[in-house]
Amino acid sequence: MKSETQLQNAIELHGNMIRKLCFLHLKQKADVDDIFQDVFLKYYQSDFEFNSSEHEKAWLIRVTINACKDNLTSWFHRKVELKDDLQALHIEAPKEDNALLESILKLPKKYKNVIYLYYYEGYKTKEIANILEVKENTVSTWMRRAKDELKGMLGGDYLEE
């Protein structure tokens, strides 16, 4: 089990990243907050020894993605369609800037992950493959398909601007 100091440091260091990942996958602010807390509970209770801060971050990403997946496949979420818009999630931005974000949110889960990890977190394809525990080629394929879908939605290559 981790110490209180380790927990505080992890929340401070990786809190924003976890919140973004939750935001990408979940439709309700309440769910986002729940998963955020559960991820850190798992972290606190884990006996896993991390080699580095990057190692810790990769572990948290994987746990968060899995927790979001579990949340979305729960009976409640399969039966009940809930959705908060960006305003409900306290995101205020010019409409044109929201366009990319809104489009990414519409992507399938696996595409969202690779786009976020590659473009926002700056991970390489190989690193993403390790984090998501899939083949590198799979990551490349997902990336290509995600970009194609975004192009279709936005009418241009916003990602490469």
Q: Which residues bind another protein (CB under 8 A)?
A: 1, 4, 7-8, 11-12, 15-16, 18-20, 23, 33, 36-37, 40-41, 44-45, 89, 91-93, 97-101, 118-120, 122, 158-161
Q: What is residue 134's three-state secondary structure?
A: coil
* 121/136 with CB nearer another protein: 121
Least distance (Å) between residue 8 CB and another protein: 6
Q: At what angle do helices 4-25 and 29-45 cross, to 10 degrees?
A: 140
CA distance 104 to 118: 13
* 134/159 with CB nearer another protein: 159
Least distance (Å) between residue 78 CB and another protein: 25
* 75/120 with CB nearer another protein: 120
* 51/94 with CB nearer another protein: 94
| Single-letter amino acid code for the residue at 123 | Y
CA distance 127 to 156: 27
Least distance (Å) between residue 32 CB and another protein: 9
> What single DSSP character describes residue 120?
I
How far are the Cα atoms of 33, 91, 103, 115 from residue 96, in angstroms, in the given order? 27, 13, 11, 19
* 75/92 with CB nearer another protein: 92
Which strand (E) or helix (H) includes residue 36?
A: helix 29-45
Least distance (Å) between residue 37 CB and another protein: 5
Least distance (Å) between residue 114 CB and another protein: 13
